[in-house]
Amino acid sequence: MSPSGAAGAGRLPPPGGSSGGSTTGRVGPGRHCVAFLVYDGVTLLDVAGPAEVFVEANRFGADYGVRLMSPTGDDVVSNLGFRVAVDGAVSSEPAVGTYLVAGSGLFPRTSVPRDLASAARVPAAGAGRVGSICTGAFVLAAAGLLDGKRATTHWQVAHELASRCPTCTVEPDAIYVRDGTTYTSAGVTAGIDLALALVEEDHGADVARDVARALVVYMQRAGGQSQFSAPLQGPPPRTPALRKVTDLVTADPGGSHSLGDLARHLGVSTRHLTRLFHDELAITPARYVESIRFDVARAALDQGHTATEAAARAGFPSYESMRRVFARRLCMSPTAYQRRFGTTRRTPTS
């Protein structure tokens, strides 16, 4: 718990803090109003995490006022079953400085209700900047607020967002994306990353750094969403020949899988094999082999194998070649990845 907040149960109190004055209700002159759109089923952490960042920033000289809005002005029930008190309906909210739409596990399993999409447009029209947390991007997309823009969402549903908003360029590996005055963030805790970026935009790096330290979070985490994603998965290739090659690589990642070797295995030209990979998987054969080896190595690290063992199991020619792939894909070394994701247990200090 941060120095400025307190936890409760049952009915969630409006976000506020003992330092920096009240942050809810009426937003006084000069205050930067941060308004969250909430609704039944909203993910509580999508609201509480970013809100805590703005409230904490008030301890370091910022002047944010946080408001919660629902489509009708009625209180809502979060995904955890807690009732969340709101400050009013979107139709009664004056122009806000920052307008954020929280996500929900309901999306993308179901389509965004028309009344929710319509409600999302109301404050967006007058907001200085508009953003979403996690699957809140689906609400923005349904409201037409992501048309022609770059955006991101949780890596597990990025493909669905791209399908629902074909004019939007979805960046599945980004922690957050800014396109003009529109901001979208990745899954759940990435809303904290986005809020810190907004604080830095408003008040500079020093204030954002102070907030990050107070909340004991990274000011900017290394890498993108791929460091949290599951191993490479996707539909099998439609072409039997290409499926034969991908099955071969998956079954024996450490085998000899040069472009020439794979082409000879199928009895086709290297140009034809490259075209098959490009047309069906949008990747080169070499990158596909690398992806499989990367996933095998990451799984080995997760299981507790050393980096050298992981490189050998995955078929990398050397540890150094594996390290270069990890650095390019995750912006960290295999050893750093294992420290971060291998266990939640901390080494005791003397």
Where in the sequence numbering do the catalytic residues fall?
A: 134
Please give the C-alpha separations between residue 49 and each of 36, 52, 119, 184, in angstroms, as whole numbers: 12, 5, 23, 15
Please tell me whether residue 311 adopts helix, strand or coil conformation.
helix
* Dihedral, CA of residue 45, residue 48, residue 52 and residue 54, to nearest 10: 110
Contact 297, 314 (CB under 8 A): yes
Contacts of 268 (CB under 8 A, 6+ apart): 241
Single-letter amino acid, residue 24: T
**What distance in Å separates the CA atoms of residue 79 and residue 57, rounded to the nearest whole number?**
27
Please tell me whether residue 11 adopts helix, strand or coil conformation.
strand
Task: Provide the strand spans (E) within 246-329.
Answer: none
Contact 315, 255 (CB under 8 A): yes
Structure tokens at 307: 């980096």
How many C-beta neighbours within 10 Å does residue 95 have?
12
